[in-house]
Amino acid sequence: MTEIDVVAKVMRVSPSNVPLEATEPTSIVPEGFLRDNIVPLSSFDDMVKFQPSVYAQSPNGPGLGKAETLSLRGFQDSQFNITFDGIPFGDATDLHHTSSALFVAHDMGQAEVDRGPGTASTIGKATFGGTLGFLSKTPSEDPGVTAYGTYGSWNTKGIGGEVDTGRTVLGRMFFDVQRTTSDGYLTGAEEQRTNYFFKDVLDIGERTTVTLVASKNHSFEYTTQGVTLADLAKYGDNWGLGDNPKAQSYYKYQPSRYTSDFDYIRVQSELTDGLKLDNTAYTNGFGHHYKESSDASDSNPKDVGVTVYNAAGKKVATYAGDIPGKEANANYRTFGDTLRLTDSLSFGDIKAGVWYDRQLDHRHSESYDWTQNILITGKYGTPYTYQYRDLNTTWQPYAEFDWKVTPDLTLIPGVKVTSFTRDVDALYNKTKPPAPLNYSETYTEAQPSIAAHYTIQEGWTAYAQVAKGFLAPPIDVFQVAKIASIKPEETMNYQVGTAVQHGRWMVGADAYYIDFSNYISTSQVPGTTETTFVNGSGAIYKGLEMEAQYALTDALSLYANASLNHAQYKDNYVWVANTPQWMATTGVMYDSPEGLYFSAIGKVVGPFYGQDNTTDAKTGQPDFANAYRIHPVFTADVSVGWRLKDLGYHLVDVTPSLKIGNLFDTHRINGFAGTQSATGDALYWTTPGRSVFFNLSVTGW
């Protein structure tokens, strides 16, 4: 076996692969790693948590609850792109993602972390900070039935089944269903989740492939909001929600129900010998119906009380012992299409296309008395704190030329134009007092880019990239009494890097510099108590990233990555909040031809600050200063299993495995969650304790 074959084999189960064809810093998480090292019930944040410059943490345990922190180079969720099978998606308000309400690891075939805005053909509303791309797995060529299950810490139980048809006249199809229940690591944070996933890949002749995907998710959880240091000391490291119905922190006051779906039809066709068509028509939906107390973090029974008003805003009753809260509903439905054309010529590829996305969003929130279990009228004469419709329309055409200057050098100039329109129709806008609003704003920006890719020698490439990023303002800028003229946030991205796959080595290294302008922050309107939004000067992001893998044998390899991430505001040198200043990962992987596999991977996340600005009480302007320092946290995960093949009795594969999270049972504060409304005390997230999950997968036919 050659050394190239050795490194190719161990890369199948590596935490990350560095592709030689990359034109920006890229890490690919292969299917083998997802299968062997990620619990099948896990959400997408677990799939990428070991990558350079990525920080992800879920307080309720691995694969449980939503990720409360997900950052890439210090850019936060909603400041970078997330795609599913190449389709960008995100919440209608600000593009954030509820990871626990979406797809699960068992249905995924690959994850890709692109640390940069990509070329012109990289579509999305927030390519601004990079892209996390997730691909569903390819249906098997062979028929089979798989039953799988998980049992482990915190009374976590998961069971699932998958049917693969193999290749038939109707295509290669699989259908997967999974059900998970768990008490969760945090007290009172019980959750339930059911996922359905269908995929069919149909070859029509020799030149056309049609792919159909339909997925559905239902989940329920009691939502936590963080913990004060006082409650942490009093109740322990896993404090989430309480069992005292006289306090706002009572777990039954925080129910959340989520539904989501993702469906598409994709047609890929070679129209001529050089011209290719790739078109995807899709829809996805998200629903969140929830009730909650006014502050789920507040365990003090004295911080309660409900006041009821009439339609004229006159106080009619006060219930001193009642629990205040709200009932809310958020639903959006997206329809869209991605059209891509590629014409391959002798001197390069000409690429052109357009992405269209239309998103209709409905939301409302009403004041609620938990003790009497009724909606109540607030001091503005209505139960509603807000009720609105939000229509978002995106057009994004692009053109790109992959010019093969020489056999070793490719230049990739291009431009895309983003036009984003937000139409808000509110019966009650999210202001005080709630007031009607009918408003529309369109943001249009050209985003040029150029990249160069050079093959130094076989197995060693280098790249350089310059690109402009663009991010339209969130809906928050409309939810104020006085709407200001706000410019979109922008970046200019500069980066260089190299990728090596040679001998027994795989290496990737890069340096980046990002000029972030038009930073959006809150400001008080002069002479009033009203808040509005303004553009600040911005910030500078810069850093170094490196990852490497060395194959000791054809089954045993070592892996490591490290990143230095520096993000400070231009005018005051204050650190951008939630940007770890450094991170590092190291691990060992073993994958035997006989079926035994093992991995031990540890990651340390360096220090960062939870807050970078407040509103000055005297001037009403942003006051930039760092607060709530989060200290470094190290955790390690272990996975071991054995793939038993062809046991007879129609058993094709039997795989028992054990996954241990946070091996050394680290208990540390690892994130800032805001402040408590009653006391102003800081709220924090903590590291989930050690978890042990036993998994069993049985495939037969």
pLDDT in tens, 16-43: 999 999 999 999 999 989 988 888 888 8
pLDDT band of 587, cuts 50, 70, 90: very high
What is the model's pLDDT at position 62? Answer: 86
What is the model's pLDDT at position 4? Answer: 58
Task: Please give the average per-residue pLDDT across 252-275, as a whole number.
Answer: 95
Question: Which residue type, as a one-letter code, is found at position 404?
Answer: K
Q: Coil, strand, or helix at residue 100?
A: helix
| Angstrom distance (rounded) from CA 285 to CA 333 | 4
Q: Does pLDDT of 161 surpass 70?
A: yes
Task: Please give the average per-residue pLDDT across 510-529, as a whole number.
Answer: 80
**Is the whole-model pTM more than 0.75?**
yes
| Angstrom distance (rounded) from CA 37 to CA 452 | 35
Task: Please give the average per-residue pLDDT across 439-446, as a whole number.
Answer: 94
What is the model's pLDDT at position 247? Answer: 96
pLDDT band of 13, cuts 50, 70, 90: confident
What is the model's pLDDT at position 101? Answer: 85
* 69-72: strand order across its sheet: 54-57, 69-72, 75-76
What is the model's pLDDT at position 618? Answer: 67
Q: Does pLDDT of 100 surpass 90?
A: no
pLDDT band of 524, cuts 50, 70, 90: low
pLDDT above 70 as % of the chain:
97
Exposed e or buried b for every residue in 26-35, given b needs 16+ CB within 10 A? bbbbbbbbbb
Q: Does pLDDT of 274 surpass 80?
A: yes
Domain locations in the chain as residue ranges: 4-700
Exposed e or buried b for every residue in 311-330, given b needs 16+ CB within 10 A? eeeeeeeebeebbbbbbbeb
Which among 364, 420, 354 is positioned nearest to 389, based on CA atoms? 364
Looking at residue 477, the DSSP 8-state letter turns out to be: G
Q: Which CATH class is domain 4-700?
A: mainly beta
pLDDT above 90 as % of the chain:
79
Give the helix, strand, coil percentages of the chain, each rounded to 5.
Answer: 5, 60, 35
Higher per-residue confidence, 527 vs 181:
181
| Angstrom distance (rounded) from CA 285 to CA 90 | 10
| Angstrom distance (rounded) from CA 526 to CA 587 | 55
306: Cβ contacts below 8 Å, ≥ 6 apart: 318, 319, 322, 323, 324, 369, 371, 376
Which among 291, 187, 294, 290 is positioned nearest to 248, based on CA atoms? 294
